[in-house]
Amino acid sequence: MVVKSYDRPKLDIPKTGLERIMDWAAILLFAAGTGYLIWIWGDLPAEVPAHFNGAGEVDRWGSKWELVMLPIIAGLLWIGMTVLEKYPEKHNYMAELNERNIEFQYRNSRMMLNVLKNLVVLVFIYLSYLSTQVALGEEDSLGIGFLPFFLVLMFAPMIIFMIRSLRHR
C-alpha cells in the first residue's frame, strides 16, 4: 500500500541522542558566538565587512549593526527548521512511502533537516566571527576556501541523506 501525501500518518518518533547532541552543540555555539559579538562590540569600527565575493574578499563595507543580522537570521532559521522537523509527514520524499519504509523515511528526512539546520547556524556564527576579525584587522578576508567549504558542507549532507532515502525504498 502506497501512502499518499495527504494521507500520511503522524508517527511519534522520538529524537535520537545524536539529534539532541547536535541541537545542544549548535545552541551553545550560537550563544558563544552571540556573546563574543556582544563582548567585542565596543572595539568594532563603525564600518565592518558587510559582504564578501566568491574569493572571500570584502566587496562591501557597512554599519557594524549589519553584523547583528547574522545571529538573528541564524536563530530564526534554527527555530523555523526545528518546527519543520516536527512534521516529517509534510516533507517531500524521493521514494514512495509505504508501511515498510515510512518510519525510516521520516527519521531520515528529520535527521537531514536536523543536520542542515545545525550546520547553517554554525556557518552563520563562523561568518559573524570572521567578519569581526576582518573588521578588527586580524584577518584580511574569509579566504578563498570558504565558499567551496560552505557549498560542500551544505550539499554533502543532502546528497548523503537522499542516497539513504533511495536505498530504503
Question: Alpha-carbon distance 160 to 28, whole Å?
Answer: 26
78 touches 30 (CB < 8 A): yes
The C-alpha torsion from 51 through 56 and 58 to 63, rounded to 10°, is: 40
List the beta bridge partners of residue 61: 49
Q: What is the pLDDT of residue 168?
A: 87
pLDDT by residue (tens digit) across 22-55? Answer: 999 999 999 999 999 999 999 999 999 999 999 9
DSSP secondary structure of the chain: -BPPGGGPPPP--PPPHHHHHHHHHHHHHHHHHHHHHHHHGGGS-SEEEEEE-TTS-EEEEEEGGGGGHHHHHHHHHHHHHHHHHT-GGGS--SSPPBTTTHHHHHHHHHHHHHHHHHHHHHHHHHHHHHHHHHHTTS-S-S-TTHHHHHHHHHHHHHHHHHHHHHHT-
Q: What is the pLDDT of residue 5?
A: 59
> Mean of the pLDDT values across residues 162-167?
93
Q: What is the pLDDT of residue 94?
A: 87
Question: Alpha-carbon distance 40 to 23, whole Å?
Answer: 26
Assigned C-alpha cell, 22: 547536535
> Mean of the pLDDT values across residues 143-149?
91
Instruction: For residue 169, name the pLDDT band (cuts at 50, 70, 90).
Output: confident
> Mean of the pLDDT values across residues 79-101?
92
Q: What is the pLDDT of residue 6?
A: 67
**Domains of the chain, residue spans:** 15-167
pLDDT by residue (tens digit) across 4-14? Answer: 656 788 999 99
pLDDT by residue (tens digit) across 103-137? Answer: 999 999 999 999 999 999 999 999 999 999 999 99
Q: What is the pLDDT of residue 4?
A: 60
Residue 3 has pLDDT above 80, yes or no: no
CB count in 10 Å sphere of residue 110: 21
pLDDT by residue (tens digit) across 53-77? Answer: 999 999 999 999 999 999 999 999 9
